[in-house]
Structure 1
Amino acid sequence: MKNHILKMAIWLLASVWLPARLSAQNQTLSLKQAIEQAKSHNRDLRIDSFNIAKSRQQTQISKGLLLPNISLTGQFQHYFQRQVFFGLNSSSSSEGVGYARFGGSQISGAQVTLSQALYSASAKYEIQRRRLLEKQSQLSYNNREVDVVAQVKQNYVQLLVLQQRLNLQYESIARNKKALADSRSLLAQGRALRVDTLRAYTLVKNLEPDVLRLTYALQISQQQLSTLIGSAAGTEFILSDSLQLNTSDSIPTETQAFRRSLMERPDFQILNLNKEINDKEIQLYKSARLPVVSFVSQYQLQTQTNKFRYDQAGWPPVFYAGIQVSIPLFTGMQNANRIALGKIERQQSDAIFDNAQEQLKTTIKQVTASLYEASERIKTQNNVSQTAELSYSITKYRYEKGVASRLELTDAELALTTAKSNYLEAVFDYLSARIELDRTTGIVNE
């Protein structure tokens, strides 16, 4: 019953997945192409690019604080009872104050007003702060780019390893099927026991579920890579690169990796920049206590008339220009509290940076240790794999000559498959550690 269910699952996978693969759009992809495509089309990077544009626009808005402001104002009023003026026809002994109504029923006017800041310390510091925030948004984009490139590399290597492991599984199934056919032949000739045939059959069936697992893992990894590089859904990638180890690559020391991380990593540059932003905010809060000097000017036209006879009304102009000084005397202790808040935020930025440095030291120690361990394991597993392959060849030859038993051949095949699988795992761990080292040190283009 279990074998029937397994066959049905394999048939269902072949009927659903294989047609989808044939109908999917194939794309040959190298690791370099994948990285470049991710830089151009990754959706997370595109979202962060909008933050850069927003920061630049905020800087332009801040620059407007030092540019002149020109406004045009117009007004119209209709008085149902004309305006009054007190103080007419009154004597000093009279308790009442006389008044008279004068002017027109309709009053109209227009003014053009100009205001230009001559000295504004707060505007200067605000522009400087906005420029730092613009730089921060660019560094945030660079930091996201480092993460995306590391994810692309990791996903690409994972795909290569999964393909190799799937091929290895197919090779193991082929060897065990050949052994099963031999056992059946020998059983028919009366030269082998039935238990050997049953054992060979069991080994073949035990390997088939791993094909399903690796196939589904390949599909998921393909979809993840498609999402990372912003490709169309359903694209089938044909990887043009292969698993290669450059033995000439040297592993940096912890001190070298730490120094490079402090210089190259965008997130640490952001932490340093936060200190400058806090300092600039403190200066901005302090500048709110300083006076603001502005040049002001206005040109005004005004008229009054009755019964809307504007054609007979006069339009006398009024024009003035001057200097305006604004000195804040008391603002409810807001400026003092803002300065105190800025100092606290500055101390917090220092603490965050120191904490990040200590965490970085631990991360680098883990990554370099993983690199050293994986590189040594590769050397060992490579020798083991070669030995297991030689052992299998010898055992197979002895089995064909009737010297070795079927159990010895099975053990040799299992040892060969395990050795190759362990070698692939060591290669994957080494490349993963190398990718993590690149991400930790902020490397994108290497």
Structure 2
Amino acid sequence: MYKILFLKKQIIVTAILVMLFSHQLIAQDTLRVDIATALEIALSENPTIKIANREIDRVDYTRKEAISGFFPTLSAGANYNRNIKKPVIFLPPGSPFGTVLEIGSDNSYAANLTASIPIFSATLFKSVQVSEVDIQIALESARASKLNMISEVKKAFYTLLLANNSYEVMKLSVENANKNLENIRKLYQQGIVAEYDVIRSDVQVRNLNPALVQAENSVRLSSLMLKVLLGVDENVEIDPIGNLTDYETDFLNFKPLAEVPLETNTNLRQIELQQTRLTKQYELLKTTRIPTLAAFGNYQYQSQANDFNFSNYEWVSTLSAGLQLQIPIFQGFAKRHREQQVLVGIDQLKLQYDYINRNLTLQVRNSITNMMIAAEQISSSKVGIEQAEKGYSIAQTRYNTGSGTILELNDAAVSLTQSKLNYNQALYEYLKAKVEFETIIGNDQLLK
């Protein structure tokens, strides 16, 4: 069932990729993707995911190998034997043939066909059960890889949105600073303002330019990280669809959880499956004390002669069948020691489970706390932007009418820029905390 679902997803992703590269790769080789498309591409093309899926195939073949133990085995063989000195038998004294009698011929030929089938073997049944648990472990491991990939892609996508938003804020800030500089130069030429105001405005522009370059570099690095996760060539530009502000409604619907849901955490589920496997392995070791019963059959076709005149050979066939019962009695306490090793491993996993469970509970609560803090910062920053925009407008009016100073205008511009950056950062911190929360609890809605 898992493979069928995965195949369907592969078909969907292939269709998406065809659409993307036929319609979204424009003249400048720019790939426009939203977060859903980015996740689909990553889950289909990332090498880590492909390796995890191949591991499922490998373990499935191991299970099939265990099941094949229930089928009959059939083997054939042939041999030729040249008796340089023939075998002998010893006869009692007084025999008319002497005390030593040679038997057989110079040449002997034999062909055989052997078949066997297990009738009762508890070990085989338990081996199949162990291999079935291995399949579940491989599936959960693949799920863990996909959850981690979803987390990494989401964070990279949100980081790119943050970088783009920050760049736009800084770009607008530089544009406003340049407009103010031009306006102040005109006022200076008219003798309305002092040269000091021109110098302060020019310094303001020059101070903002390095921040703009840094913001542009952040966009480049964030884009490169997303390209790596998506497996996109570095020469292809990525244009993310959307904006951080598109996720404003996300935090408005946020409600703190009373309980920490860890039932679907992939780390805990893997430990549980490993405990199940060791339990099955312990049961498997116990079955090695139980007798096994198998049926066998043997067909042989043979001939002997002193010459190589094959046309005169007389061929004889024989057929035999029977049952084979094996009863384990004593192996020097080796089985007991192997059983104890498995029991110790089970105890270790129990301790590991409790330790990880405590740590995950702390991580979940920390993520929830970070989401709450970020939500408060978003609300505060949004009001801060409104106030800063109002303050900047007032500062411009005051300066243009001669009642304000250049310091007030610059301070208002800096406050507006910082308010916008704080707002974007708060949105990003909320989304990042949410991604971490979903990864910890094992939210796999995107995998279904």
TM-score normalised per structure 2: 0.89
What is the match of residue 179 of structure 2? 178
Within 1, Cα distance between the matches of 2:218 and 2:122?
A: 60
Which residue of 74, 77, 81 maps to 2:78? 74
- The answer as to whether partners of 1:113 and 1:297 remain within 8 angstroms in 2 is yes
- The answer as to whether partners of 1:278 and 1:342 remain within 8 angstroms in 2 is yes
Alignment deviations for residues 92-126 of structure 1 (CA, whole Å, 9 cap, x no partner): 9xxxx932223221111111101101111111101
2:297 is the counterpart of 1:297: yes
| Alpha carbons of structure 1 residues 308 and 217: separation in structure 2 relative to 1, 3 Å | farther
What is the match of residue 40 of structure 1? 44
2:217 is the counterpart of 1:216: yes
Alignment deviations for residues 151-170 of structure 1 (CA, whole Å, 9 cap, x no partner): 11111111111111001001
What is the match of residue 190 of structure 1? 191
| Alpha carbons of structure 1 residues 103 and 254: separation in structure 2 relative to 1, 3 Å | same
Q: One-letter code of the match for 2:123?
A: S
What is the match of residue 148 of structure 1? 149
Q: CA deviation at 1:228?
A: 1.7
Q: CA deviation at 1:314?
A: 1.3
Aligned positions, number: 417
2:443 is paired with a residue of what secondary structure?
A: coil
Q: One-letter code of the match for 2:216?
A: T
2:50 is the counterpart of 1:50: no
- How does 1:126-137 map onto structure 2 within 5 Å? 126-137=127-138
2:404 is the counterpart of 1:400: no
Q: One-letter code of the match for 1:27?
A: L
1:117 is paired with a residue of what secondary structure?
A: strand
Alignment deviations for residues 107-151 of structure 1 (CA, whole Å, 9 cap, x no partner): 111111011011111111011000001111001101111111111
Q: One-letter code of the match for 1:417?
A: T
Which is further off, 22-31 or 417-426? 22-31
| Alpha carbons of structure 1 residues 349 and 91: separation in structure 2 relative to 1, 3 Å | farther
1:308 is paired with a residue of what secondary structure?
A: coil
Within 2, Cα distance between the matches of 1:151 and 1:226?
A: 12
The RMSD of aligned alpha carbons is 1.9
- How does 1:392-431 map onto structure 2 within 5 Å? 392-431=392-431
Q: CA deviation at 1:318?
A: 1.0
Q: CA deviation at 1:190?
A: 3.4
What is the match of residue 339 of structure 1? 339
- The answer as to whether partners of 2:107 and 2:304 remain within 8 angstroms in 1 is yes
5+ residue gaps, structure 2, are 1-24
What is the match of residue 108 of structure 2? 107
| Alpha carbons of structure 1 residues 212 and 23: separation in structure 2 relative to 1, 3 Å | farther
| Alpha carbons of structure 1 residues 108 and 355: separation in structure 2 relative to 1, 3 Å | same
| Alpha carbons of structure 1 residues 204 and 22: separation in structure 2 relative to 1, 3 Å | farther
- The answer as to whether partners of 1:254 and 1:365 remain within 8 angstroms in 2 is no
Within 1, Cα distance between the matches of 2:253 and 2:144?
A: 25
Within 2, Cα distance between the matches of 1:102 and 1:329?
A: 40
Within 1, Cα distance between the matches of 2:372 and 2:427?
A: 12
Alignment deviations for residues 371-420 of structure 1 (CA, whole Å, 9 cap, x no partner): 11110111111111110110000110111111111111011101111111
What is the match of residue 285 of structure 2? 285
Within 1, Cα distance between the matches of 2:76 and 2:90?
A: 35
1:314 is paired with a residue of what secondary structure?
A: coil
- The answer as to whether partners of 2:200 and 2:406 remain within 8 angstroms in 1 is no
2:324 is paired with a residue of what secondary structure?
A: strand
2:438 is the counterpart of 1:438: yes
Which is further off, 119-128 or 204-213? 204-213
Q: Give runs of ≥4 in structure 1 deviating > 6 Å.
A: none
Q: One-letter code of the match for 1:88?
A: L
Which is further off, 293-302 or 436-445? 436-445
Alignment deviations for residues 47-95 of structure 1 (CA, whole Å, 9 cap, x no partner): 11011000100000111111111000111122222x2223136359xxx
Q: CA deviation at 1:297?
A: 0.5
- The answer as to whether partners of 2:89 and 2:103 remain within 8 angstroms in 1 is no
1:330 is paired with a residue of what secondary structure?
A: coil
Q: One-letter code of the match for 2:120?
A: Y
Within 2, Cα distance between the matches of 1:233 and 1:298?
A: 66
What is the match of residue 61 of structure 1? 65
Q: CA deviation at 1:254?
A: 4.7
2:230 is the counterpart of 1:229: yes
5+ residue gaps, structure 1, are 1-20
2:445 is paired with a residue of what secondary structure?
A: coil
- The answer as to whether partners of 2:56 and 2:139 remain within 8 angstroms in 1 is yes
- How does 1:355-366 map onto structure 2 within 5 Å? 355-366=355-366
Within 1, Cα distance between the matches of 2:121 and 2:154?
A: 51
Within 2, Cα distance between the matches of 1:345 and 1:24?
A: 57
- How does 1:14-29 map onto structure 2 within 5 Å? 25-29=29-33
Q: CA deviation at 1:179?
A: 1.9
- The answer as to whether partners of 1:149 and 1:444 remain within 8 angstroms in 2 is no
Q: One-letter code of the match for 2:168?
A: N
Q: Report the identity percentage.
A: 23
